[in-house]
Amino acid sequence: MFANERRIQITEMLNRRSSVTVNELTDTFRVSLETIRRDLEYLEKQGALKRVHGGAVTVCRREPEGTRFEVAFPRYEPKGGEER
């Protein structure tokens, strides 16, 4: 398996689950720890994941501004300036 194919599969695994471990990846792809670490380093530089101790997690992507539906509610203020 080529490195690019392996990296695509790693990102697909992270899309299905929120984290993967280095040991799990070495068992799945039958490659060395160093190979998986290089793959994770490459994918992190590409912004595809975040490396953590012993593996990787998905990256929380921020939504572009203006894409989230927000409803503005007027602030309630009592009439006549009465306070309780």
DSSP for 11-47? Answer: HHHHHHSSEEEHHHHHHHHT--HHHHHHHHHHHHHTT
Mean pLDDT of 51-66: 76
23-50 confidence digits (pLDDT tens): 999 999 999 999 999 999 999 999 999 9
Give the C-alpha distances (Å, rounded to integers) separating 14 from 7, 29, 54, 78.
11, 15, 14, 51
Which structure tokens are listed for 20?
Answer: 């993967």
* Mean pLDDT across 63-68: 48
Q: How confident is the model at residue 59 (pLDDT cuts 50, 70, 90)?
A: confident
> Are the C-beta atoms of 37 and 49 separated by less than 8 Å?
no
